[in-house]
Structure 1
Amino acid sequence: MQSTTKLIPFAIAMAFAGSAGAQEVVKIGHVAPISGPSAHLGKDMENAAHMAIDELNAKPFTINGKKVTLRLQPEDDGADPKQGTAVAQKLVDAKVNGVIGHLNSGTTVPASKIYNDAGIPEISPATTAPQYTRQHFPGAFRVVASDEKLGSILGKYAANTLKAKNIAIIDDRTTYGQGVATEFTKGLKGTNVKVVAKEFTQATATDYTAILTSIRAKKPDVVFFGGMDSVAGPMLKQMKALGINALMMGGDGMCTEALPRLAGDAVGEGRVICAEAGGVKGPQEKVMDDFRARFQKRFGVGVQLYAPYVYDAVMVMAQAMQNAKSAEPAKYLPELKKIKYEGVTGTIQFDQNGDLKDAPLTLFTYKGGKKTKMDVIR
């Protein structure tokens, strides 16, 4: 009995000593579809998040002069809104200090309410639906242009540069697909372009013969598609099989390195024009090329689409924590709002809604089976 009494204070002392010597861990959640048709894009994002976290920890990373370990908690939302809200709650319960994600607007918008209610800042590297920041949640940010800008610029480009006369519009019924198609339609207002058809499919559909046959009869110059590359690729194949020679246009969801693989030779030469939210030109191109080379070396695969934006989003969140001298969300959120960060994707500053200031867009086409940059516009 006497020896046990002596051991108890020693055990308590050792526990406190271990606690005092333990390094602070800051958890950052990351959410993207790691399963389903868009899994290649989600893995691209998750890889970039790991890369950013590992580089920060290697420096090492400090907050208020103290070494801190950043830990990534990656989750898979499967591009499904229900799964998205479930993993959002899981991250809240895990008491993460911030969240990078999601990819799809359809998962980001409902998940953002959960993060907002918990007071956790979220930076989306891919969500383009205007609705995301129009909710006016103080902790919701994005590092890419919204559909409002992307869609309207594509609409004006189709009318003024391509001189299109007849356009058919298809969307995949997702928040993203409908949103970008709506903004594209708005961009056509005041022009001489005629919208000859408005059709829709599903993000999980594989046969588009019925809607494409209907569209073929209306002889469009351009088919605009609001949706992801996993649908755009097979759709291009079926357009070719049906003899539809129209140009295909779309937003960043289909504007990927994987599109030629998904479409085969139906991607054609300059037959697809798409816009990616973001983009660099001039001296910034070398910074981006260096990032792509580092990414390729580490993971053995090239950047698909959103990796640079994920990387910058992690760096911006980490910088805000350092500026605030705290990883507590309530303390570093004000620093996020006023941050100015020079990233791989360019200068990152947010407006009063959490949208990226002066957001650029890059126009691409496909030549020789490769995604080819046309121009960066603002």
Structure 2
Amino acid sequence: MGNACCARSAAAVASYPPLGVPDWTEAGVPLFREGVPDHPNVTERYAFEGLLGTGGSGAVVWIAASKSTTSATTTKRRRRRRLRVACKTISWNSLRRTEEVEDLRRELTVMASLPRHHPAMVRLHEVYEDEAAVHLVMDLCGRGSLADRMVERRWFEWCTEDRAARVAWELVEAVRALHEAGIMHRDLKPENLMFSGRRAEQQQLKVIDFGFATSFGPGEIFRDEVGSFPYMAPEVFLRSYGPAADVWSAGVIVYQILCGRHPFPAPDDTYMGQRKATLRGGAADVESHPWPLISGAAKSLVLAMLEPDPTRRPTAHQLLGTLTCVQRFWKVFQYPVVSCVACIIFSSSQTLPFCLSDRASVAEDGGDRLRGTCFTWACLIFIDVRYKEGGYTDLWWY
């Protein structure tokens, strides 16, 4: 391979010819065969700023910044900034078998076919290959993972039910987008859910690590047992599953967010222990503490996602049918100024005709208009109080 490196855009990854048996050399093996043009080394395009984390199969994730600048226009001035990305480096030493190379190729193909511009999807920018490693340049998620937040000391203060509902909505929406694109993740867990965004109220959940992801067709059944066993669905342990397994994994995550523990805890942290606990689990426990403090609709959602029978388990699209309208409602009323303006406009539409009407109109419908206005302001006060107490609890879920 020499000193040249290879790069391709994400859209071109899926068009590569199938890999044959690689020719092993001391320097490694070319992942992409002939016809890949020479390209500057990844370090010539990006400056590595620090370690972000480590992954499976010997992968190391770095924070990097583009050495070239992009223009950004603001209302006050025009400034230039460097694009900051995450670079996942996979050493050739960790790709010793043809199957491992094929797994990496499948991951690249899946990432190239992810729904474009979806807020929950990590975009793959470029793929580099040199004598030492393969480098995947992708979106940077610099706000930590859901797993990090679940182990933080102030987790339960952070995770009020309205915030849990927001995470649940974004997670189910991500699963829906993947399934509509014909992609099954097969390894949903808190470690693979990252946050991005500068401000706390603008942080977006993003799904990462598509190492076990695969495409699927209508009615296709999978027999291989992959994933992280605490989040495996019963049908995955039985080696007969479809996309409904992702809904189960999401249900386990939502359950953990709400109460801080696994719905089917194993007596020991082993594969066989978790397998037995999941297969004989039945219905998840939604009676012990803190579930009496959680809304009934949240319980119903979790129980539906953790339905042991995959044929009776709702799809992500069906779950969003309940959550979408509530998400839109919450986006309006989570801001006090917006809610006040909306209430004033509605009240004016009720009281202005009453004030301009004659006495006969007052006698006929003035009382109804005043009662409607009072009811509107009472609802606003109720919503504001619920918000300050930490929760549009029922409004989120119904």
TM-score range, shorter chain: under 0.3
TM-score of the aligned structures, taking structure 1 as reference length? 0.24
Q: Which has the higher contact order (CA 8 A, sep 6+)?
A: 1
> Higher Cα Rg: structure 1 or 2?
2
TM-score of the aligned structures, taking structure 2 as reference length? 0.24
